[in-house]
Amino acid sequence: MSNISLKSPVGVNGIGRIGKLLVWMLSGRKEQEQIVISTGREIGKSLEDLATYLAYDSTYGGYDKFLFGFQSGKRVEIKGNNIYLNGVKIVWVNDPKCRVAGNIPWADNGVELVFETTGKITDPTSNDDNSLRGHIRSAKKVVLTAPFKIKNKGAAMPDDAVTVVGGINFDKYDSSKHNLISNASCTTNCCAPAIKALVDHFGDKFISYALTTVHAATNSQAVLDNVPKSGDKDTRKRRSILNNIIPTTTGAAKAVIEVIPEIRELGIGSQASALRVPTNTASIVIMDISLLGEYDDDYMNDVFKKYSEKNPEVMKFSTEQLVSSDVIGSPYSTIYDSLFTHRRTSKRGNNSYTMFDLNFWYDNEFGYVNTLLRLYDMIAGRH
Ligand SMILES: NC(=O)c1ccc[n+]([C@@H]2O[C@H](COP(=O)([O-])OP(=O)(O)OC[C@H]3O[C@@H](n4cnc5c(N)ncnc54)[C@H](OP(=O)(O)O)[C@@H]3O)[C@@H](O)[C@H]2O)c1
């Protein structure tokens, strides 16, 4: 039984790329009468500036057009002192005190579940005012739109915290126990379903995988080169995303093992890296895997066909020659590119091995926000 009502107002802390799209989608579904957003600061000079920010989008082309079509009419309105999106009231918390999570009056506004989207608060072990636990002094549960990061490396994951990914381990969520819930990263949501399908199918014949995400730009990057901050470890992050392919790290390898512990149990080798590229959204995971035995492309395609039929909201099986802009606006966690799959077989002693190159697309913004909605539906007991 869920202790979160689908009708109660949802809270969103931070309205950057993920927070704003989440507000779009929640108001588009119109299941709550109000959504509470906290920015902990003013936006521009007036309520109109916030309304304009919410109404237009350089990537998806604007709220009305994207959600309801060109001729839908204006669905972002100001009535009195409030903005309404599709008739849903947006309660805006802009008090500077509320930059600190523990000061946001979620309960006063009826909020039971908060999405923490600022990217600044990620440690489930912290009990400071400005922590995930700060939110649940007033709300009941908090969903982190990123992987948990424990600052004190020796500390254990608390019992009330869990990482869940759709298509893999929603069954690990226990409503009576878990109040801090991480939805992992967009890259983990893209590659983990594929790895789960491979682990379940090949078991101990699955030797290793290496993945590279070629990832669109995010606001954590610099538009033009800027001066590295004091103590910056990865100064490449300060290089211009307009002009570069920027190698960086990803926590995906670790996060995938967290949600698929069989990887460790079976001793499957894993590695992950990332490249940031100058596109506004839509990314691809290139996954090279090694298997014991000989398999052809049709065999591999069949593994993902079956997985996608069992998990139709999570994985799409594509038979089209996609490029990244084709997946902008895709709601799937991952799109398997069956036309791209290719392999080579080798022999050592009496054993044959097959190395496959597999591609998985994802809209790192909109696709990820849809993974959040599926998680929310699960927590609120819809499925
Ligand atoms: N973008 C993606 O593709 C993607 C995909 C999956 C997950 N994520 C994760 O989702 C999180 C957000 O990513 P994003 O791309 O949406 O980042 P973003 O565009 O930078 O948005 C973060 C927003 O949070 C606000 N903020 C920061 N501190 C705040 C505070 N104390 N109170 C209220 N608002 C605050 C920032 O505004 P101010 O100017 O007020 O600081 C900013 O607008 C990150 O953890 C990221 O890793 C991102």
pLDDT by residue (tens digit) across 89-118?
A: 999 999 999 999 999 999 999 999 999 999
* Residue that the structure tokens 């869940």 belong to: 164
CATH number of 187-364: 3.30.360.10
Q: Best of 18, 106, 129, 163 to mutate for ligand 1, by most ligand atoms within 8 A of CB?
A: 18
Smallest Cα–Cα separation from 143: which of 61, 26, 57? Answer: 26
Q: For residues 98-118, b (16+ Cβ closer than 10 Å) or e, as one string? A: bbebbbbbbeebbbbbbbbbb
Average pLDDT, the chain: 97
Q: Say whether 191 is catalytic.
A: no
Most confident of 34-38, 149-153, 230-234: 34-38
Strand order in the sheet with 10-13: 76-79, 82-85, 88-93, 34-38, 10-13, 113-116, 141-144, 180-182, 161-163
The neighbouring-strand residues paired with 346 are 353
Distance 145 CA to ligand 1 centre (A): 9
> Start-end ranges of CATH 3.40.50.720 in the chain?
10-158
- At residue 314, does pLDDT exceed 70? yes
**The dihedral sign for the CA sequence 66, 69, 73, 75:** negative
CB-count exposure of residue 28 (10 Å: 0-12, 13-18, 19+): middle
Q: What are the distances in angstroms from CA 358 to CA 47, 155, 210, 226? A: 47, 36, 11, 36
Q: Which of 98, 186, 190, 191 is catalytic?
A: 186
Cβ within 8 Å of residue 8, ≥6 positions away: 32, 110, 111, 112, 113
> Start-end ranges of CATH 3.30.360.10 in the chain?
187-364
CA distance 328 to 315: 15
Q: Are 138 and 343 in contact (CB under 8 A)?
A: no
pLDDT digits (tens, 9 = 90+) for 318-333: 999 999 999 999 999 9
CB atoms within 10 A of CB 376: 23
Helix axes 47-55, 17-29, angle to 10 degrees: 80
pLDDT of residue 247: 97
Q: Are 56 and 76 in contact (CB under 8 A)?
A: no
Q: What are the distances in angstroms from CA 232 to CA 49, 235, 236? A: 33, 6, 9
Q: For residues 333-352, b (16+ Cβ closer than 10 Å) or e, as one string? A: bbbbbbebbebeeeeeeeee
CB-side neighbour CA atoms (13 Å) of 213: 30
CB atoms within 10 A of CB 39: 22
In CATH, which superfamily holds the domain spanning 10-158? NAD(P)-binding Rossmann-like Domain (3.40.50.720)
Q: Which ligand 1 atom minimizes the distance to the CA of 100?
A: 31
Distance 166 CA to ligand 1 centre (A): 22
Q: Give the pLDDT band of residue 382 (cuts 50, 70, 90).
A: confident
Which pTM does this prediction carry? 0.97
pLDDT of residue 336: 98
Distance 119 CA to ligand 1 centre (A): 5
The pocket around ligand 1, CB under 6 angstroms, is made up of 13-19, 38-41, 99, 117-120, 145-146, 185-186, 218-219, 364-365, 368
pLDDT digits (tens, 9 = 90+) for 128-184: 999 999 999 999 999 999 999 999 989 999 999 999 999 999 999 999 999 999 999
